[in-house]
Amino acid sequence: MVGAGPAGLAAALAAGDLGCEVTLIDAGHGPGGQMYHPGMLFPGRGRAHRPAEHLPPGLARIRQLRQVRHLAATSVGRAVRDQDGVVTLWVGGTEGGAETTVEVRAVVLATGAAELVWPFPGWDLPGVTTAGAAQALLKSQRVTVGRRVLVAGSGPVLLPVAASLAEAGVRVVAVLEATPAPPAGGLAAYPGQRPETGGYAAALARHGVPVRTGYAVVACQGTERVERAVIAQLNQDWRPRPGSRRPETVDAVHVSFGFSPALELPRALGCAEVQPASRPVPAVACDADLATSVPGVFAAGAVTGAGGADVAELQGYLAGTSTARYLSRLPPDAYTERTRPLRARLENARRLAADLDEVCSLRPGWLEWPDSGTIICRCEQTRWSEIGAAVEGGARDVRAVQAVTRCGLGDCRACVCGPALQYALSAAAGMVPGSARPASAGQGGRHPLRWTA
Ligand SMILES: Cc1cc2nc3c(=O)[nH]c(=O)nc-3n(C[C@H](O)[C@H](O)[C@H](O)COP(=O)(O)OP(=O)(O)OC[C@H]3O[C@@H](n4cnc5c(N)ncnc54)[C@H](O)[C@@H]3O)c2cc1C
């Protein structure tokens, strides 16, 4: 198993319970992934939990299972599957040490997702980070980026991040959710978060942090680091309302617009991808048993585009069980019997996640936030105006734009700017981001991109 978040842990448990010898590899220092990060602060529940207390009881059982060997602080850099079906993983310590290999007959990829952010003027200033980065720094190092901050973007991740920061003594000026309709119903339905939502809301209320819907940080300004954020009120498709921009003094801004599946290892193994119609980012394609297009390679959790920790965990149990069947540890009848209740719960959790995705769907008005000089690709320093020039010169797909601008060809391999580039190209062509379908009226139709300031 690669990844010890809820998906990888559940997969390891399911496969281990069925007698498979499991190697669980994760770059983190303890099991839990993003959701159950060791040392996480839970508003209203005190601070600094020990890792063992941190996992829900079902997943904490991982520590007792003898069949599971956990390689923590270990990263998988490369993966190859040979003609005999053996998958070789190249692993190395995240704090140095020689690279070595692990050979397995089957693998579950549960590598999670990276955060999705849209570019705006000043997003590359020191002090502007993703919401997840602010959370991870706080959880792992007890470090805060700023003392007076805004948490902005869209999706349920904003609330726990803001609550944790407020609990840690940071002055959170506001949480800005871009979607104008109050997302309360959707947030309440957020899988895996429902029991916590009340806690986050209570923590924010206790610290006097307002949650404003239909607002966004559309620019950051400062010399050495961010000193001011420009806040705008948005219309339904996230276009800034004329005359609504106002400055707010801050020393940090934390943004997040959802997640983008971590596809490096699936790509290395040649797994097919699927492009959700509503998102500008692809995910690993899986069948109903969570098998990818490559025999012996399974996937679970956020890497499949799934939303929420509950879905990730349920997928993990299914993928681990499928792996055991693949390794002939489970006859077909027993597999069907064992997975039936799991599939029903998964279907239910998926429906809730889809509802939330709908509430917090990405909207094209963000394309009006960058100005011509905004850096879109930080690695290659490509500016927004260069993308515009490439499109006006006839480029209509990512490769064509990259050939002219080098956008996304730097060290992070488009991990940060790729979704923005894809979205911008789709919008310019009047397509639903990430699909070949024309945008409907509800999705904004052809979007007149404002390439120049
Ligand atoms: C700040 C924050 C708050 C969140 N809050 C909530 C919430 O309240 N409720 C909710 O439902 N969801 C929340 N989420 C989303 C949550 O992360 C996912 O729902 C869930 O964690 C997905 O589980 P996963 O196992 O698929 O991936 P993850 O939990 O992301 O785990 C993936 C693991 O894979 C490891 N990994 C990746 N690549 C490699 C590699 N090459 N080698 C070794 N290890 C690797 C990573 O270290 C990581 O531990 C939050 C996310 C963030 C960032």
pLDDT digits (tens, 9 = 90+) for 224-276: 999 999 999 999 989 999 999 999 999 999 999 988 899 999 999 999 999 87
In order of start, what are the domains of the chain with their CATH numbers? 6-114+260-330 (3.50.50.60), 117-257 (3.50.50.60), 370-443 (no CATH)
Given phi > 0 = left and psi -120 to 50 = alpha, else beta, which region is 48? left
**Residue numbers in the chain where pLDDT is lower than 70:** 38-53, 181-197, 277-278, 431-453
Interstrand relation of 148-153 and 252-256 (parallel, antiparallel or unpaired): parallel
pTM of structure: 0.85
Paired strand residues for 259:
115
Question: What is the separation of C-alpha 75 from the centre of its chain, rounded to a whole number of angstroms?
Answer: 18
What is the residue whose two structure tokens read 């990263």?
75
> Which residue's alpha carbon is at the smallest distance from atom 2 of ligand 1?
132
In this predicted structure, what is the pLDDT of residue 280? Answer: 76
In this predicted structure, what is the pLDDT of residue 439? Answer: 45
Q: Name the residue of 35, 36, 346 whose CB sits within 8 Å of the most ligand 1 atoms, as the mutation to test its pocket.
A: 35
Cβ–Cβ < 8 Å for 368, 424: no
Is 356's C-beta closer than 6 angstroms to any atom of ligand 1? Answer: no
In this predicted structure, what is the pLDDT of residue 255? Answer: 98
> Which residue's alpha carbon is at the smallest distance from atom 38 of ligand 1?
111
**Residue percentage of the chain with pLDDT more than 70:** 87
Here the contacts of 268-275 (C-beta below 8 Å, separation 24 or greater) are 268/78, 268/79, 268/80, 269/79, 269/80, 269/81, 269/87, 269/107, 269/109, 269/294, 269/297, 270/81, 270/294, 271/109, 271/297, 271/299, 274/305, 275/434, 275/435
Is 8's C-beta closer than 6 angstroms to any atom of ligand 1? Answer: yes
C-alpha distances in Å from residue 27, one per residue of 113, 263, 302? 13, 15, 16
Q: Name the residue of 9, 29, 34, 196 whose CB sits within 8 Å of the most ligand 1 atoms, as the mutation to test its pocket.
A: 34
Q: Report the amino acid identity of residue 163.
A: A
Q: Kindly give the distance from the C-alpha atom of residue 55 to the centroid of ligand 1, in angstroms, as a whole number.
A: 13
Query: What span, in angstroms and rounded, lies between the C-alpha atoms of 78 and 88?
Result: 8
Query: What span, in angstroms and rounded, lies between the C-alpha atoms of 213 and 233?
Result: 9
Q: Kindly give the distance from the C-alpha atom of residue 220 to the centroid of ligand 1, in angstroms, as a whole number.
A: 28
Q: What angle do CA 287, 341, 21 make, to 5 degrees?
A: 65
Is 4's C-beta closer than 6 angstroms to any atom of ligand 1? Answer: yes
Could you report the per-residue pLDDT of 391-442, keeping only the tens digit for each?
Answer: 888 888 888 899 999 999 988 888 889 889 888 887 777 766 655 444 443 3
Query: What span, in angstroms and rounded, lies between the C-alpha atoms of 317 and 344?
Result: 13
Is 111's C-beta closer than 6 angstroms to any atom of ligand 1? Answer: yes
**442: enclosing H helix or E strand:** none
Paired strand residues for 382:
377
The backbone torsions φ and ψ at residue 273, rounded to the nearest 5 degrees and listed phi first, read -120, 160
Please, what is the angle between helix 158-167 and helix 194-206, to 10°? 40
The ligand 1 atom nearest the CA atom of 135: 1
In this predicted structure, what is the pLDDT of residue 279? Answer: 73
